[in-house]
Structure 1
Amino acid sequence: MAAAPAEPLVPPAPAEQPSGPPPPRTGVAALSLPYQVGVAFALAVVAVAACVHLGMVFLHVAPSNTVTKQHGEAIEDWVYPEFEQNWKLFAPNPLQQNVAVQVRAQVRTADGGDRTTGWIDLSAQDGRAIDGNLLPSHTDQNLLRRAWDFYVATHDGDNRATGSRGGLSETYVRRIVVLRLERDGVAGKGEVIEMVQVRSSTTSVKPPEWSDEKISLEPVRRVLPWWQVPADEAAAGSIG
């Protein structure tokens, strides 16, 4: 009896592909080509700026070398005052003083007259903003304090600049206090801040009970001369 012929092998039919539009692109891929180029360019600029900044800070804190000797002024201009580096966190004798920076202003009134404000304690304002705040602003903590440290480090006891950065520190402090006065509405409608005067009140922290250290707890004040506010700074904060 003859065997039945074998049935031919038939390959399975390919699975049907789901119909419909492809999934939408996300992220940068979803942007058009010109926008993708713009994003790539922006990322490249940020990367270059970050590398330059890290390099400048490294050269600033590194030991003296050929690069810092030749380009030291450019490095200092980049770092000071916003990115200044120091080792006070590890100081064997940390700061033991409370320093309050205060300011008053001479304001030109709308009718052409002048008035002088009372002393405004800017450090106390920062303290109130920090007290009880779980995430205090870096500006409230350090901007005014570091600016005043910068000024004191570049001036002698008679408020004379002791180096090339003295003028920069004066400008830095002046701009900060003028901005603070403008923010607090010291100059009303039609008024302009013409001059500012800054002073500090330094009080030593009382030693602990177990210490035999004897120090004076009387505040020591340092009064700076009146500073003229440039027209561009005064105009920036004037109202009217």
Structure 2
Amino acid sequence: MREPRHPARWSPASTAALAVTALTLSGALLAHLGFVFLGVAPANAVSVRHHERIDAYVQPEFAQDWKLFAPNPMQRNDAVGVRVTTVDADGRTRLSDWINLTDQDIESIRGAVAPSHVDQNMLRRAWDSYVATHSVEGDLPKGARGELTGAYLKRVVLQRVGAVRDGGRVTSMQVAGRFTLIDPPAWSREVPSDTTEYRLLPWWPVVPQDLREL
């Protein structure tokens, strides 16, 4: 006669391991929600004091383009462009036409079911970071962060331009931005702007070090 089967029982060690895992996952989830909440919430004592840690966690993957309780979508059309000088094999120097990099990103996004975060935000954020950390007069960097954002913008643009353009080696580049305010809705009393702002950055030399691992 066969003995009746007994249901499997968890050992104390297995139960403890499951409890620790559940607590760890719960803690990680709460920490994630807390960081994201502080990243989008209005400025407060906690977010101001720990803004560097919050930005370091939120910005790489969980950045939001709106503020909690006060959605503020972009109200202008931005376009970032570049022109380069190249040197042909015979030593002749050429100046390229302006290349609209933002237009290239828009074409990559249009019609895409799952558009790339790179195409949507990388160039725009690189430009915004540069503008926020450089003076208008002379384009001087504001501290070490300014130097980093300048190098970052240069590298992002070079990734799109490449080391060779129209058969010539790229030797220098100039980046510029164009900004046009979006017209207000018909029911608004705001007066539409008919001006376009430009910002022209100085020429940057392109050396072999800039082209490494592009």
TM-score of the two chains, using structure 1 as the length reference: 0.62
Partner of 2:186: 209
Over residues 172-201 of structure 1, what are the superposed CA-to-partner deviations in whole Å (9 max), with x where a residue is unaligned?
A: 111111111118x6252xx32111100011
Q: Which residue of 1 aligns with 2:103?
A: 124
Answer whether contact 1:205 1:217 (CA < 8 A) is retained: no
Task: Figure out how many residues of one structure are paired with residues of the other and give that number.
Answer: 176
Backbone CA RMSD of aligned residues: 3.4
Is 2:88 the partner of 1:109?
Answer: yes
Question: Could you tell me how far apart the structure 2 residues matched to 1:112 and 1:235 are?
Answer: 23
Question: Using the alignment, how far apart are the partners of 1:99 and 1:129 within structure 2?
Answer: 16
| Stretches of structure 1 lacking an aligned partner (at least 5 in a row) | 1-10, 12-50
**Pair 1:178 & 2:164 matched:** no
Provide the rounded CA distance (Å) in 1 between the counterparts of 2:107 and 2:200.
24
- Are the structure 2 counterparts of residues 163 and 177 from structure 1 closer, same or farther at C-alpha, using a change threshold of 3 Å? same
- Provide, for residues 204-225 of structure 1, a one-character-per-residue CA deviation record: whole Å limited to 9, x for no partner: 1011111110132322111000
| Counterpart in the other structure of 1:135 | 114
Distance 1:84 1:196, change over 3 A: farther
Contact 1:192–1:235 (CA<8 Å) still a contact in 2? no
Q: Which moved more, 1:94-103 or 1:209-218?
A: 209-218
Where in structure 2 are there 5+ consecutive unaligned residues?
2-27, 40-45
Query: 2-side partners of 1:193 and 1:142: how far apart?
Result: 25
Change (3 A) 1:106 1:235: farther
User: How big is the shift at 1:94?
Assistant: 2.7
In 2, distance between residues paired with 1:141 and 1:95?
Answer: 13
| Distance of 2:106 and 2:75 partners within structure 1 | 17
- Partner of residue 33, structure 1: none
Report the alpha carbon displacement of residue 93 of structure 1 after superposing the two structures with TM.
3.4
Residue 221 of structure 1, aligned match among 189, 198, 201: 198
Q: 2:134, 2:128 → 1: CA distance?
A: 10
Q: Deviations over 1:96-147 (max 9, x none)?
A: 0000000000112111121110100000011111112111111111111111
Percent pairwise identity: 38
Amino acid at match of 1:176: V
1:232 to 184, 209, 212: 209
Residue of structure 2 in register with 1:161 after alignment: 141
TM-score (norm 2): 0.69
